[in-house]
Amino acid sequence: MDIPGISSNDPITTRLGQTQFGAQQLDRDAFLNLFVAQLENQDPLDPVKNEAFVEQLATFSSLEQLEEMNDNMVASIALNQSNAILSQLTQSSALIGKSVTWADPDTGYETTGTVERVKLTDGYAMLSIDGQDVPLAAVVEIQGDAPDESTTD
């Protein structure tokens, strides 16, 4: 049996959430405004204890620190991803002109060819080997410099 107003996707709950709070979050200014309003409107005969105010401030301070730590973690992850892509590109570019063997991921068949260029596709280094795009991860062996075709005996 469904009880109206309990589910988060219930029209009553959704409508109330949108009209009262919208998609906004409680930020520092809103918290401070609420805090000051609470101070101004408290009952002078039964004021809120100092411990309660200190607890609210400490909780909000902890929340701000967690949000800052989260932002720093996101930035760190983005930097690590960028470094990984740069590392793949650097490693791949060292293979230009080298003869390599790679395994086809579908068939397992190994092919040897010369790396002509490197490009990034969807965040992965792709080697152009004899006109075919091959992921760097598919390379199973590096033989060294490709034989020079312009030299004749």
Q: Could you read off the pLDDT tens digit of each residue along the chain, which spans 153 residues?
A: 444 444 445 444 444 444 444 445 667 788 788 888 888 888 888 887 878 878 888 888 888 899 899 999 999 998 998 888 888 888 888 889 999 999 987 888 999 999 999 998 888 889 999 888 999 889 999 887 766 665 554
Task: Give the number of domains in the chain.
Answer: 2
CA distances from 65 to 9, 32, 53, 70, 88 (A): 31, 16, 18, 9, 34
Residue where a domain stops, chosen among 85, 109, 136 = 85
Do residues 66 and 29 share a domain? yes
CATH of the domain at 122: 2.30.30.30
Do residues 102 and 135 share a domain? yes
Q: Rounded to whole angstroms, how far apart are CA atoms 130 and 135?
A: 13
| Residue 2 counted as domain residue | no
What is residue 7's predicted lDDT score, i.e. its pLDDT?
45
- The values of phi and psi at residue 149, to 5°, are -80, -15
Do residues 15 and 52 share a domain? yes
Residue where a domain stops, chosen among 42, 58, 85 = 85
Residue where a domain stops, chosen among 36, 64, 85 = 85
> And the tokens for 18?
């949108």
CA 62 from centre of chain:
23
- The CB-based long-range contact list for 61-69 (8 Å cut-off, 24+ gap) reads 64/28
What is residue 5's predicted lDDT score, i.e. its pLDDT?
44
What is residue 77's predicted lDDT score, i.e. its pLDDT?
92
Range of the domain at 127: 96-145
Do residues 45 and 81 share a domain? yes
Do residues 103 and 131 share a domain? yes
Do residues 53 and 114 share a domain? no
Do residues 128 and 62 share a domain? no
Do residues 46 and 78 share a domain? yes
> And the tokens for 127?
């080697």
CA atoms within a 13 Å half-sphere pointing along the CA-CB vector of 117: 5
Beta-bridge partners for 113: 100
Q: Rounded to whole angstroms, how far apart are CA atoms 15 and 121?
A: 44
| Residue 91 counted as domain residue | no
| Residue 150 counted as domain residue | no
